[in-house]
C-alpha cells in the first residue's frame, strides 16, 4: 500500500476504537471545522470517586490520520486522571501511533485540542481558544492564532515555516501569512535560545573519533559557513565541541540579526549534512569565547 | 488480485499492442534516427510513421504539424512560451482558473516575470465564463490557453469558440488536450486551434512521451534549444520507443474512439447512477452532459475524500480525490473551489475515471463495495443529515472569520441561469 502510514496508524484507521456519541458524557469538546478539512468531537466521562477517565469516545470528519489520532487518544486517556490526560502532547499521540507523516501532524494537534476542550467543558471553563479573546488570527485561511502557532513551535521544537504549516495548517492556504509566521518563529527561537540551558554532551559518534569530528567541524565552518555569513557582514566563532554539541557564537551583524534563528538552523543543517547528523548547535552570547579563555 | 483501476485520468495502462510495437526499439533497433547509416535511418522512418498516425488521430492537415515532446507539461510550456516570445509586444496571457498545474504554475511564474495574466473563472457546473474571457481579450493578448477537458471533472470547454474569440483579438489559441485526446473525436483540419498539447500516458502509451500540435503557419519559437531534431522545433535526441508507442496508441485510440462514446460512457453512467441510487447525500460535480464520457466526479457529504480513497484501496479499487489531504496542499481542489462547490462537498469529492479496459463486473463490484465504505465513515463522522454541518462561523474553534475558509468564492454571474444544474436537484435526499 502506498500510504505513508505506520501499521499501527492504519490499524486505528481501519478499526477505530471508541467511536460514537457518549450520551452521559461529563465533557464534550468540538474542534476544527469542515471548511478547514477536518473536525473532531471528543467525549469524556470520569469516575467522581477516583477522578479517573472511565470512558472516552470520538467522532471525526477527516482523513485517515485524523481518525487514527482521535482513536489513539481515546485509548490513551482512559484510566488516566484528568490531570494526567492533559499532560498528553500531540507528539505523544504521534508516538503512540508509531509516527504520523510530517504533513499530517496537525491531526495530532487537533486531538490534543479536542481533549483540552472536553476537559474545559467538563470543568465549566471557557477555553481561551474558544473565546478567541487571546491571540490574534495570523492565518485567515484556517483561522490559526499566533498563540496556537507559538505553542506548536515550543512544544514540538519547530524550526521552519513548513513545519509550522504541517503542525497547525497555518500558511498552508493562500500563503500570504508566511512572513508573519516567520516573524513568530524567529521571536520564539530567539526566546528559546535565551531560556535554554546548555545541553549536556551527547554520546560521541561511533565511527568518528572526536579529533576527526572537530577537524571536520572546523573545516565546514571555515569553508561553508563563514563565507556566507561574512557576505552579510557577520561572522561565526567556534568555541568548543563537547560530544555532539557544537558551541559557537555569532558575531557582527549575525548576532543581533532578526534572522538569527534561521541562521542557526541553517548552520546546524550544514554541519549535520557535512559532518554528522547527530550534531546539535548551541549559540553562545558573543564574547563567550573570551570568557572561556 | 488485480486492482480495479478507475484512475485513468491520472495515467493509463500501456496497451499490449503498444508495448509490442515499442519493444524492438528498446532491443535491437536502437539506432539514432539522425544517423546517416541505414541502421539509424530506418528508425527515422518509424518515427515518421508514428507522426502520421498521431496526425491521423488529431485530424491534422499534415504530420509535420506534430512536434514530439517529453510530456504534456513540456508541450504546454512550449506553446505558451513560444507565443510570448514570438509576439514580444503582447504582454498578456489569458488562461482559466481550472487549468492543470502545468499551465497554472507557469502562469504564476510569468506573472512574477512581469507579464499580465488573466485567469477566467467558471460557473457552478464548471463551464467557462465566456463574458469574462471576452472582456479580458485585448490587443495586448499574446495567447489564450484553455484546456479542452478538465482532468478533475471532465467538463469540456467550447475550444472552437474560444479559438475564434482569441483570433478576433489577434491572439493565438492553445489548448491543453491531455484529457481529451483519445476520448473525444478531434478534427483539427476543421478547427481554429493553433496549438494543442497531449500526453502519451493518458492514452495507453507509456510515460515520458508527449506531443505538441503546431498549426502550419503559426509563429513558433522552440523551448528546448539544441539539435535539428523535430525540424528545429525541439532539440534533443528523439525518444524513439516512446514516439513509436505513441503512434501505436494513437492508431488504437482512433479505432476505439466510438467505443469511448458508447461503451465507456455506458459504464461511467452505470457507475454514477448506481452511486446516486445507492448512497444518499451525493452530488455530481461538473456539467453532466458537457463532459468527457469516462469521468465521474462525485462528492459524498459528511465524509472526507482521503479516508474514502484509503478504504477503496483496501478493497482493491483505485480512484482519486480533490480533498485537501490528497491535493498536496491543505486546501481542496482548485477546480472545485473555482466552481464554488461548498467545502462540505469539496473535501468529500472522489473522481472515478474509466478506460475501455474496464468491465461491467468491475463497476458492479465498486457499487457493492462503496456504499458500506461511505456508511462506515459517516458513522465515524460527527455530521449527518440529523446533525448537519453547522455554520462555519459558529463552530470555528478560533472564531475565524477568514474569507477563504468560511465562504467559498461566489461563482460569477451566470449568463444562462437555467443551465445551472448544480445543487439541490442533483442531491438525493
Number of structural domains, chain A?
3
How do the residues of chain A divide into helix, strand and coil, expressed in percent and rounded to 5? 50, 20, 35
Judged against a pLDDT cut of 60, whether residue B398 lies above it is answered with no
Average pLDDT of every residue of chain B: 91
Q: What mean pLDDT do residues B238-267 have?
A: 97
Domain boundary among A129, A144, A174: A129
Whether A201 maps to a domain, the answer reads no
Per residue in B283-317, pLDDT (tens digit) is 999 999 999 999 999 999 999 999 999 999 999 99
Q: How many CB atoms lie within 10 A of CB A104?
A: 25
Q: What is the DSSP letter of B260?
A: I
Per-residue pLDDT at A70 exceeds 70: yes
Residue identified by cell 499492442 is: B17
Q: How far apart are CA B80 and CA B95, in angstroms?
A: 10
pLDDT of residue B326: 67
A168: number of Cβ within 10 Å: 27
Phi-psi region of B239 (alpha: psi -120 to 50; beta: other; left: phi over 0): beta
Structure-model confidence comparison of residues A135 and A167, the more confident one = A167
Q: CA B428 to CA A136: how far, in whole Å?
A: 41
- Mean pLDDT over residues B33-37, rounded? 96
What is the pLDDT confidence band of residue A257, given thresholds at 50, 70 and 90?
A: low
Q: Which of residues 92-151 of A touch B (CB under 8 A)?
A: 104, 113, 117, 129-132, 135, 137, 139-145, 148
Q: Searching chain A, which residue's CA lies closest to the CA of residue B304?
A: A62
Do A160 and A90 belong to one domain?
Answer: no
CATH code for position A139:
1.10.10.1100
User: Which CATH number goes with the domain that contains A271?
Assistant: 3.30.300.130
- B303: which chain A residues are within 8 Å (Cβ-Cβ)? 61
Quote the cell numbers at residue A13: 484507521
* Residue pLDDT, tens place only, A100-139: 998 888 888 999 999 999 999 999 886 554 444 467 888 8
Q: Answer whether residue B272 shows pLDDT above 50.
A: yes
Report yes or no on A73 lying in a domain.
yes
Which one of A79, A98, A129 terminates a domain?
Answer: A129
Confidence of residue B280 (pLDDT cuts 50, 70, 90): very high
More confident position, B214 or A283: B214
Between B175 and A260, the more confident residue is B175
Q: How confident is the model at residue B427 (pLDDT cuts 50, 70, 90)?
A: very low
| Mean pLDDT confidence for B339-368 | 95
- Residue A153 zone, left/alpha/beta (φ > 0; ψ -120 to 50; rest): alpha
Q: Are residues A72 and A175 in the same domain?
A: no
How many angstroms separate the Cα of A98 from the Cα of each of A70, A86, A213, A237? 14, 20, 32, 39
Neighbours of A292 (CB within 10 A): 10
Lowest mean pLDDT among A24-38, A207-221, B255-269, B392-406: B392-406
- A38 plus A60 within the same structural domain: yes
pLDDT value of position A250: 82
Fold (CATH) for B16-253 = 3.40.640
Kindly state whether residue A96 falls inside one of the protein's structural domains.
yes
Residues A125 and A164 in one domain: no
Q: What is the DSSP letter of B216?
A: T
Which residues in chain B are contacts of A104 at CB distance < 8 A? 325
Q: Is A63 a catalytic residue?
A: no
A262 CA: distance to closest CA in chain B (Å): 24
Q: Are residues A177 and A231 in the same domain?
A: no
- Contact call for B395 and A33, based on CB within 8 A: yes
pLDDT given at position A291: 53
Does residue A290 carry a pLDDT above 90? no
Is residue B404's pLDDT more than 60? no
- The 8-class DSSP code of residue A26 comes to S
User: Could you tell me if residue A262 is inside a domain?
Assistant: yes
Please indicate, yes or no, whether residues A85 and A141 belong to a single structural domain of this protein. Answer: no
Please check the confidence at residue A77 and state whether its pLDDT lies above 80: yes
Examine the pLDDT at B17 and tell me if it is beyond 70. Answer: yes
Over range B382-406, report the average pLDDT: 58
Long-range contacts at B384-393 (CB < 8 A, ≥ 24 apart): B384/B302, B385/B280, B385/B281, B385/B429, B389/A34, B389/B302, B389/B344, B392/A33, B392/A34, B392/A35, B392/B343
CB–CB of B46/B235 below 8 Å? no
Query: φ and ψ at B119, to 5 degrees?
Result: -115, 110
Q: Which of A170, A195, A220 is the last residue of a domain?
A: A195
Distance CA A134, CA A136 (A): 7
Q: What is the mean pLDDT of residues A48-72?
A: 94
Enumerate the active-site residues of B.
325
Q: Sort strands B282-284 and A245-252 into parallel, antiparallel or unpaired.
A: unpaired
Q: Does A163 touch chain B (CB under 8 A)?
A: no
**Terminal Cα distance for chain B, rounded:** 36
Confidence at A197, pLDDT banded by 50, 70, 90: low
pLDDT exceeds 80 at position B409: no
Q: Is residue A205 part of a domain?
A: no
What pLDDT is attached to residue A281?
A: 86
**Which grid coordinates belong to A221?**
565552518
Name the band, by pLDDT with cuts 50, 70 and 90, for residue A37.
confident
**Mean pLDDT across the stretch A15-35?**
92
pLDDT of residue B385: 87
In a domain? residue A112: yes
State the average pLDDT over residues B57-62.
98
Question: In the beta sheet, which residues pair with residue B93?
Answer: B117, B143
Residue A281: give the domain boundaries. 210-292
Is A204 a domain residue? no
Q: Does residue A202 lie in a domain region?
A: no
User: What per-residue confidence (pLDDT) applies to A199?
Assistant: 53
Q: What cell numbers appear for B178 in the block?
A: 491531455
A132 vs A273, more confident: A273
Do A38 and B304 make contact, defined as CB atoms within 8 angstroms?
Answer: yes
Here the cell at position A94 is: 504521534
Residue A204, pLDDT above cutoff 50:
no
Q: Do A140 and B402 touch (CB under 8 A)?
A: yes
Percent pLDDT > 90 in chain B is 85
The whole-number pLDDT of residue A61 equals 94
Closest alpha carbon within chain A to B3: A1
Q: Which residues in chain A have their CB less than 8 angstroms from residue B401's CB? A: 137, 140, 143
CB proximity B381 to A under 8 Å: yes
Q: How confident is the model at residue B392 (pLDDT cuts 50, 70, 90)?
A: low
As a whole number, mean pLDDT of residues A84-98 equals 94
The three-state secondary structure class of A76 is helix
CATH of the domain at A109: 3.90.1010.10
Q: Are B322 and B346 in contact (CB under 8 A)?
A: yes
Q: In the predicted model, is pLDDT for residue A262 greater than 50? A: yes
Q: Which residues of A fall within a CB distance of 8 Å from B405?
A: 33, 35-36, 140-143, 173
Is the Cα dihedral B428, B295, B107, B145 positive or negative?
A: negative
Amino acid at each position: 500500500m502506498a500510504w505513508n502510514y505506520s501499521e499501527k496508524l492504519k490499524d486505528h484507521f481501519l478499526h477505530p476504537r471508541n467511536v460514537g456519541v457518549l450520551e452521559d458524557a461529563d465533557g464534550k469538546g468540538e474542534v476544527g471545522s469542515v471548511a478547514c478539512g477536518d473536525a473532531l468531537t471528543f467525549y469524556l466521562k470520569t469516575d467522581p470517586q477516583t477522578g479517573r477517565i472511565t470512558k472516552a469516545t470520538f467522532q471525526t470528519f477527516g482523513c485517515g490520520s485524523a481518525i487514527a489520532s482521535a482513536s489513539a487518544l481515546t485509548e490513551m486517556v482512559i484510566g488516566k486522571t484528568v490531570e494526567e490526560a492533559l499532560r498528553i502532547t500531540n507528539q505523544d499521540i504521534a508516538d503512540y501511533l508509531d509516527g504520523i507523516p510530517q504533513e499530517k501532524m496537525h491531526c495530532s494537534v487537533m486531538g490534543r485540542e479536542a481533549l483540552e476542550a472536553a476537559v474545559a467543558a467538563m470543568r465549566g471553563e471557557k477555553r481561551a481558544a474558544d473565546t478567541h479573546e487571546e491571540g490574534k488570527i495570523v492565518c485567515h485561511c484556517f483561522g490559526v492564532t499566533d498563540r496556537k502557532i507559538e505553542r506548536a513551535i515550543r512544544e514540538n521544537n519547530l524550526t521552519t515555516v513548513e513545519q509550522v504549516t504541517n503542525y497547525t495548517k497555518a500558511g498552508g492556504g493562500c500563503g500570504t501569512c508566511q512572513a508573519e509566521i516567520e516573524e513568530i518563529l524567529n521571536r520564539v527561537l530567539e526566546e528559546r535560545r535565551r531560556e535554554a540551558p546548555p545541553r549536556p554532551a551527547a554520546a560521541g559518534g561511533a565511527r568518528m573519533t572526536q579529533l576527526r569530528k572537530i577537524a571536520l567541524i572546523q573545516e565546514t565552518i571555515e569553508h561553508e559557513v563563514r563565507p556566507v555569513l561574512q557576505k552579510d557582514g557577520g561572522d561565526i566563532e567556534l568555541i568548543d565541541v563537547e560530544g555532539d554539541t557544537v558551541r559557537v557564537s555569532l558575531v557582527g551583524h549575525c548576532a543581533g540579526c532578526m534572522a538569527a534563528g534561521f541562521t542557526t538552523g541553517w548552520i546546524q543543517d550544514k554541519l549535520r549534512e557535512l559532518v554528522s547528523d547527530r550534531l546539535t548547535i548551541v549559540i553562545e552570547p558573543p564574547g563567550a569565547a573570551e570568557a572561556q579563555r | 488480485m488485480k486492482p480495479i483501476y478507475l484512475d485513468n485520468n491520472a495515467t493509463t495502462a500501456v496497451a499490449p499492442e503498444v508495448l509490442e510495437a515499442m519493444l524492438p526499439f528498446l532491443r535491437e533497433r536502437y539506432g539514432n534516427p539522425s544517423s546517416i547509416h541505414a541502421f539509424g535511418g530506418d528508425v527515422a522512418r518509424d518515427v515518421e510513421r508514428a507522426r502520421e498516425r498521431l496526425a491521423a488521430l488529431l485530424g491534422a492537415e499534415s504530420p509535420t504539424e506534430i512536434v514530439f515532446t517529453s510530456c504534456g507539461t513540456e508541450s504546454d510550456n512550449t506553446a505558451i512560451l513560444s507565443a510570448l516570445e514570438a509576439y514580444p509586444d503582447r504582454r498578456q496571457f489569458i488562461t482559466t482558473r481550472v487549468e492543470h498545474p502545468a499551465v497554472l504554475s507557469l502562469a504564476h511564474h510569468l506573472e512574477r516575470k512581469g507579464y499580465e495574466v488573466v485567469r477566467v473563472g467558471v460557473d457552478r457546473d464548471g463551464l467557462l465564463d465566456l463574458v469574462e474571457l471576452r472582456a479580458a481579450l485585448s490587443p495586448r493578448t499574446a495567447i489564450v490557453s484553455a484546456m479542452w477537458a478538465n482532468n478533475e471533472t471532465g467538463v469540456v470547454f467550447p475550444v472552437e469558440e474560444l479559438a475564434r474569440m482569441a483570433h478576433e483579438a489577434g491572439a493565438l489559441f492553445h489548448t491543453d488536450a491531455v484529457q481529451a485526446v483519445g476520448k473525444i473525436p478531434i478534427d483539427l483540419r476543421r478547427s481554429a486551434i493553433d496549438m494543442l498539447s497531449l500526453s502519451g500516458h493518458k492514452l495507453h502509451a507509456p510515460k515520458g512521451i508527449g506531443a505538441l500540435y503546431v498549426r502550419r503557419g503559426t509563429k513558433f519559437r522552440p523551448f528546448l534549444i539544441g539539435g535539428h531534431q523535430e525540424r528545429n522545433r525541439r532539440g534533443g535526441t528523439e525518444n524513439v520507443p516512446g514516439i513509436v508507442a505513441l503512434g501505436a496508441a494513437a492508431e488504437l485510440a482512433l479505432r476505439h474512439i466510438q467505443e469511448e462514446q458508447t461503451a465507456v460512457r455506458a459504464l461511467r453512467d452505470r457507475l454514477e447512477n448506481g452511486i446516486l441510487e445507492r448512497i444518499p447525500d451525493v452530488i455530481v460535480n461538473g456539467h453532466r452532459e458537457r463532459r468527457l464520457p469516462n469521468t465521474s466526479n462525485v462528492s459524498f457529504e459528511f465524509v472526507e475524500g482521503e479516508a474514502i480513497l484509503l478504504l477503496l484501496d483496501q478493497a482493491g479499487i483505485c480512484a482519486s480525490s480533490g480533498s485537501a489531504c490528497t491535493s498536496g496542499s491543505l486546501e481542496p481542489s482548485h477546480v472545485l473551489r473555482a466552481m464554488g462547490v461548498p467545502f462540505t462537498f469539496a473535501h468529500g469529492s472522489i473522481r472515478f475515471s474509466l478506460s475501455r479496459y474496464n468491465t461491467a463486473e468491475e463497476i458492479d463490484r465498486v457499487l457493492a463495495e462503496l456504499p458500506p465504505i461511505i456508511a462506515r465513515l459517516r458513522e465515524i463522522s460527527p455530521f449527518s443529515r440529523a446533525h448537519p454541518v453547522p455554520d462555519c462561523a459558529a463552530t470555528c474553534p478560533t472564531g475565524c472569520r477568514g474569507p477563504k475558509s468560511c465562504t467559498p468564492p461566489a461563482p460569477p454571474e451566470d449568463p444562462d441561469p437555467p443551465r445551472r444544474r448544480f445543487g439541490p436537484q442533483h442531491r438525493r435526499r
